[in-house]
Chains A and B, each alone.
Chain A
Amino acid sequence: MKKILCICLSFLCAAVLYAQAPAITVQGKVVSPSGEPLAGVSILVKSRNTGGATGPDGSFRISVPPNSTLVVSYTGYLSKEIRLGATDRHDLSIALTESKNDLDQVIVVGYGTRKKSDVTGSITSISEKSIQDVPAANLSQALQGQGAGIDIQKKNGNSKPGQSPTILIRGARSVKAGNDPLIVIDGIPFQGDINDVNQDDISSVEVLKDASSTAIYGSRGANGVILVTTRRGRAGAKPTVTYSGYAGFSKWLGEYPMMNGSQYLQLKKWATFLGNPGTYTSPDDPALLTVALAPEERQGVAMGRSTDWQKLVYKSGVSTNHQLGVSGGTDNTQYALGAGYYSETGIYPGQSFQRYTLKLSVDQKLGNYVKIGLSSLNTYAVTKGPSVNPMGQALRASPLVSPYDSTGKLINGFLPGSANQVWNPLADFLPGASVEKGSRLGTFSTFYVEVSPVKGLKYRFNGGAEVRSGTYGNFYARNTTNNLGVMSTAEDSSFQSTSYTLENLIIYDKTIAQKHKINFTGLYSFQNYTPQGTDFKYSNLLSDQAQYFNPAFGSNFTGRGNLLPWAIISYMGRINYSYNDKYLLTLTMRSDGSSRLAPGNKYHVFPSAAAAWNIIKESFMYSVRAVSNLKLRASYGSVGNPAIDPYQTLGALTNVPYNYGSTVTTGLYPTSVANPNLSWEYTATANIGVDFGFFQNRLSGSIELYHAWTKDMIMPVTPPATSGIPNQILTNIGKSENKGVELHIAAEIIQARNSHQVGWSADVNFFINRGQITQLLPTINTTVDGRPADLANKWFVGRPIGSIYDYQRIGIWQATPADSAAAKALGQTITGTKSVIGQAKIADRNGNKVIDAGDQYIIGTPQPKWEGGTTQRITYRNFDFTIVAFARIGGMISSAMFGAGFVNTMQANYNNLNVAYWTPNNPTNAWPKANSAQTNPTNLSTFGYFDATFLKIRSMSLGYSIPAGLAKKWGMKSVRFYATAKDPFILFSPYRNKYHGLDPEASGPKSSTDPTVTLNLDTPPSWSMLFGLNVTF
């Protein structure tokens, strides 16, 4: 009633003011894109301070002068202007579209929230809608391509269900301490697996990138911080029940390009002919066939057999997702409940991921001064077959033989041919033969009490408790590809961890003389984390039936356990000051004490400062109407990377079982030397940013420039062997740098004035990061390009981490007199089975007339030239179409498929990639010769480097929402059906298009000692087609 009264009053005022032209009455309704009514939307006459707001049902009724323009605005939505005529309007239906960049939007900044216009640091905010655009298996997958500076890639190309990708924020800065960002959920650092976070429980994700925003996390901020906020009930919202779910299938994105039967036969012939010089008259010498082929293979040739092993091994996968939510609230109590089930089976039998989640949050006001709240995230996840890699056997099996013997029985043994080394891959599918399963149960609960005793002062206590436990087991029977008929093996392990975090926060807000706004945040917190685990392995089980459940049936036990607690105590203070909302300043200081560091060395301080200038608020900008937002930001600060293992500063002994012939003793020996000076890595970052908005923020975005210097980078010093200590000693000695540019643009390209028009919005991000190592150990005396280079670890000053260092292949040595002479001059063997003719021709780069280690050079880096992502949303009537894509242009990957020798041996002992190998009749410069005399072609690794460029369509979704009226009739608020193609296309990838690789997306080092970014040969990637339904009651 009050509101209507207000509206009436304002109407009266307006009527008085504009008496000369009779006012018109405008009536209508404001709704959200999904047709839900919006309450409290401000409706003002442009250039006049008059108007009103919508009621609880979204309707409004105001009187305005004729021919005026209405400005309709609402927090979180793009403002809309509506021109009116001279007559009354009674049916004005206004649909607002959500804004990603509204300046009044409140975003989470860590230990508090800020209005977006008041933020001084570099923060990427990702909305609930963006997270749900891609029906991903987990949060990290959902964030792929969604924000500038956030590089998310599959770890070594691992595409199995339940795998979490690698997240790099603004590049990699550490070689030994890890580059994983800190994940904070509802204010509490999260220790669990990001896979266990159900993205349907999330309302927003903020990624803190510069030192000013991350400095409040001090020693844990250097790799960036991902703040996750879960859904909570809203005050004054009626109980809402939502259901969303989808189901669909997945298919492999392609087969590895292996040879078929006849191609393999040709390879065998050539390999045997070229591998035994002078033995056979030609590759078609009948005498050769009896040597080269097993009897079963000869039979296969006779009957024209060509077994496609990949077809026999792969299957279609199934994905299912069900999410049920209830939320609501009164002014005093708000609640949200969510239950979820996600299941994904892979395209390889035995690989799957299932997750059950239950989420609850309650917020309650106690009187006028106190508010308490609780949120609990509970997950049970089951991963099957996470480390099963069938490809080695499935790809190498001879296509000339069948998986079944002459009686039609499955061969449970080595397949004929293939040098008695390839076990029938189908044997793994026999019931109970190959079992691998891990399950995790996690609960993550946060609790707060907020007390506001006087205006402006707030005390908040945050408590977080996380308990996780899990088991992992595997069993491989004797006759499987894992154990190759030797003996069965089993492993059983379990882990448990508890973590608690207690935080005391004091927040004080004060405005002096209306212009000076001061906000102070003080924190004292501590966290204690206690992980514990045990692991047992045994073999030769008496009964396969027991699998990994009863070690009493096994022998040859080995076991280990660990308990590695750590704790951290922190003090933090932050002051935000703003003058007239124009000039903003943020100062933070955090001090962290860690149990990981040696006594006397436990505390370190991390300061930062940031300033911003809201240019748009300056008077001279009033006249620039096209510009709706302009802010300049600058920040500088220091943060740390804590990844030192607990007790790493202490010397340790390692145990070894030793048998004196009759008695087994546990032997001990020293393996590491204490380094009490070991400390964190420190990264200082300078950041400059501009936030902009044009045309009522229809076009908005930000540009960031940053430069980060990491010092005290942890590097291993290998004591000389003569010291007798095998373990490397970690010291803070290296340096690295990252600099880059980030651009983010959100645009309402076509604004739909009503639901019958086409609407098109786009979100684009684009970023460049350039990283390099700038300092190595002073004892390194080798150089590459005149700069220090640690050849053993492949770390190069002036180059990014993970650079590829190898020989330069300039072709293939041909069987010509010129090439023979040239090869001989370089000290190469040109006769016999080790002849280089037909092998990689390596450039003598250092010109010393011999091919030696000094001819290696830096071939490339994993660092892309640029990366970007985009989301395009198109709406028309009740249809919506969304496409999410991301691209990585440039950079290089090392492909294990081509360069690691497993399926590209050219030896013809096993099936090979179908490449046009060298023969005297095919003097190619692309691939080496077939040669049975050599396990791998010479310098095979040089054939494994590829341009990593690609553009990936992450998802394409077409949705249809049934009209609101019809939904209402059915008793629902909204109903939407959709179909999504997930990962349907990979475009512009030379690796895929030219070389028939499957997916060039890979991150992460090859191993702990080799930083080369490697694409492993593993279960192939898949694409899926999903059909879903969203209903709100």
Chain B
Amino acid sequence: MNRSFYILILTSAIAFSGCSKFLDKKPQTEIRTSAFWQTEDDIKAAIAGMYSGMQDVCSTNFLFWGDSRSDNFVDNPKYGNVVYCTNGLTSAINGSDWSPLYTVIGRANDLLKHIPQVKALQPGIDPKAINYYLSEARNVRAYCYFQLVKVWGDAPLWTIPFDSIGIDPYKTRIPVNVLLDSLIIPDLLMALSLSDPNQKTVWEANLGLTYAMLIDICMWRHDNAGAISWYDKLVASKRYSLEPTATWKNLFIAPNKTVENIWSIYWDWTTDGGAGISGQIGAGNTNSTHKISDVIWNYFSATANSKDIRGAQSIDLKVKAHDKTLKYYAVNLDAKGAQIYPANNQANVYFPIYRFADMILLRAEAANDLNDRTTALTLLNQVHTRAGLTAYADTTLRDSATMGNAILKERQYEFFAEGRRFFDLVRNGVVAKVMDPLIKIRKPDAPGFAIDMRTILWPLSITVLNANPKLVQNQPYN
């Protein structure tokens, strides 16, 4: 019996010897940060991850930030929250959370940190490809920071990924001009030098986006000359032209088939779920939270404007509740001729971030600001006539104020529900002038903008504020 006892002791002794490895388990079905960033495919996967983050940026915020507060929509009192259209934002409101933008910024920062490492590991990768990846990350990062600037003003600056708990996650807000001058514009200029002019895919943040953003930023800062010079470079690149009238709808349902879209965000509900905007402006299974404003409805439904091909292709004139925008859906009619809307969890919406018509009208705005009404008129008429309308005669738009108004109106009808209108009003300094009379009608006791122009900016979400003690709320919000 003693023998078997010793055998057992021996067995356990053997078991002892293997114990240092025993506790070393490596994950096989999870990807660790340290095991990633080895090949070009890893870069591609991370780029896809970055674009996927852009979907969350756009899903519902696209409308909240650019349209909900303008005269394009009113909140549906039964299903929506009647504060967007009456300048009653609070820190608990949907759209006040900037996390999706910082998520994308984090992913871009991760790319910018690791792409050079992969390049060093894999000298065989085409340097052109490496540079293009870097330019995509810079473009997307610049776009996100510019959105932050437009929506909230000052914002914390992150240029490195938060990938170690040793990094202090709490940062203070940096002034708008510092963000623009030390990050956004340098990013774009860097992207310009790195980008590959042959890359033209509409779903990617390519050279076209760099130009478009530079034009947009110059106009935002009222730098007309700058905008014009970037516009000239964009035209010289011969990348884009206006989509013909007949295929105008393709800008929204097939942007990859157009000559006009600069950057669109792809959506595939089978992998991404439904695009959030559908529940806001038109889904088959739920009531919209936003109704089309009378300004838009009256213009498009007027018999005089029936020639404007954008009306029936933008809003559903057959729906009496005024709550269905069909711009983003292909024509799909039932037996009675009514549009069939997808369920909100099955809606694909290809968000048009920038398109060439936008650039043309911005250039027109710059020309008008410089009292060059001839150029302004030519450019305005390019978009105006594309909509099936008769060109403006130079006699009708005789002074720069009338011209400015016409351009602004054209932009409103052309870019309805494309996240443009509110920023157009801000850029032209007419938010209070346009919105306050409407707000008075919508909610008589609402204060409007003029009383405190700081409300042009959004409040910081309460969750964002609570998560970072160094943040200060935008005034006058609490």
Contacts and interface: CB of A to CB of B under 8 A. Distances in A.
A653 interface: yes
B25 interface: yes
A664 to B, nearest CB: 7
B32 A719 contact: no
A49 B46 CA distance: 86
Given A652-B31, A723-B162, A565 B105 contact: no
Interface stretch (B96-104, B297-305, B307-315, B369-377): B96-104
B2 A658 contact: no
Contact of A666 (B27, B48, B77, B272): B48
B350 to A, nearest CB: 8
Contacts of A724: 102-107, 109-110, 158, 161-162
A454 B203 CA distance: 80
Interface in B311-340: none
Interface residues of A, number: 73
A784 interface: no
A232 to B, nearest CB: 22
A657 B271 contact: yes
Contacts of A665: 44-45, 48
B52 A669 contact: yes
A792 B466 CA distance: 9
A69 B469 CA distance: 81
Contacts of B471: 720
Given A647-B32, A651-B34, A667-B46, A658 B22 contact: no
A652 B32 contact: yes
A652 B343 CA distance: 34
Contact of A653 (B12, B19, B36): B36
Interface in A30-84: none
**Most central of A562, A652, A833 by chain B CB within 10 Å:** A652
B12 A667 contact: no
Nearest to B109: A724
Contact of A674 (B28, B106, B165): B165
A515 to B, nearest CB: 31
A15 interface: no
Contacts of B4: 370, 449, 451
B266 interface: yes
Interface in B139-179: 155-156, 158, 161-165, 167, 169-171
Interface string A632-657: 00000000000000110011110111
A661 B267 CA distance: 8
A660 B201 contact: yes
A669 B469 contact: no
B468 interface: yes
Interface centre among B9, B49, B161, B171 (most CB of A within 10 A): B49
Contacts of B16: 524
A602 B42 CA distance: 31
B107 A722 contact: no
Interface string A563-589: 111111100000000000000000000
A789 to B, nearest CB: 12
B193 interface: no
Interface residues of B, number: 79
Given A524-B16, A669-B53, A659 B271 contact: yes
A673 B1 contact: no
A697 interface: no
A81 B307 CA distance: 110
A406 interface: no
A673 B32 contact: no
A644 to B, nearest CB: 13
Contacts of B170: 720
A561 interface: yes
B78 A593 contact: no
Nearest to A669: B49
Contacts, number: 221
A370 B47 CA distance: 65
A781 interface: yes
B15 to A, nearest CB: 6
Contact of A656 (B49, B162, B469): B49
Contacts of B266: 658-661
Nearest to A666: B45
Interface centre among A370, A666, A669 (most CB of B within 10 A): A669
Contact of B110 (A367, A555, A558, A670): A670
Contact of B163 (A563, A667, A673): A673
Contact of A660 (B9, B19, B203): B203
A406 to B, nearest CB: 23
Contacts of B466: 782, 792
Contacts of B9: 459
A718 B15 CA distance: 42
A564 B271 contact: no
B451 interface: no
A502 interface: yes
A6 interface: no
A453 B23 contact: no
B12 A524 contact: yes
B52 A718 contact: no
A785 B471 CA distance: 25
A504 B102 CA distance: 54
Contact of B5 (A459, A595, A675): A459
A45 B170 CA distance: 82
Interface in B91-129: 97-99, 102-107, 109-110
A718 B167 CA distance: 14
A556 interface: yes
A275 to B, nearest CB: 9
A726 B464 CA distance: 12
A862 B193 CA distance: 62
A652 B48 contact: no
Interface string B462-475: 01101111010000
A367 B1 contact: yes
A502 to B, nearest CB: 6
A675 B45 CA distance: 24
A647 B110 contact: no
A667 B51 contact: yes
Contacts of A429: none
B22 A721 contact: no
A725 interface: yes
Interface string B257-286: 000000000101011100000000000000
A651 to B, nearest CB: 4
A722 B23 contact: no
Contacts of A725: 106, 162
A141 to B, nearest CB: 34
Contacts of B270: 555-556
Nearest to A366: B1
Nearest to B48: A667
Q: List the 9 closest A-B pairs by CB distance, nearest first.
A: A724-B106, A667-B48, A721-B99, A669-B49, A720-B468, A667-B49, A723-B162, A651-B33, A658-B48
Interface of B: 1-2, 4-5, 8-9, 11-12, 15-16, 19, 22-25, 27-34, 36, 42, 44-53, 77-78, 97-99, 102-107, 109-110, 155-156, 158, 161-165, 167, 169-171, 201-204, 256, 266, 268, 270-272, 343, 346, 463-464, 466-469, 471
Given A451-B8, A652-B27, A664-B268, 16 more contacts: A367-B1, A595-B24, A650-B34, A653-B36, A658-B49, A660-B51, A660-B204, A669-B110, A674-B33, A721-B97, A721-B467, A722-B158, A723-B162, A724-B104, A724-B107, A782-B466
26 contacts: A367-B1, A451-B5, A502-B15, A524-B12, A526-B19, A569-B22, A569-B23, A593-B19, A595-B25, A647-B30, A655-B31, A656-B49, A657-B272, A665-B48, A669-B103, A673-B163, A673-B165, A674-B33, A720-B467, A722-B171, A723-B106, A724-B109, A725-B106, A726-B99, A726-B103, A833-B77
Interface of A: 366-367, 369-370, 449, 451, 453, 459, 461, 486, 502, 504, 524, 526, 528, 555-556, 558, 561-569, 593-595, 599, 602, 646-647, 650-653, 655-662, 664-670, 673-675, 718-726, 729, 779, 781-782, 792, 833-834, 933
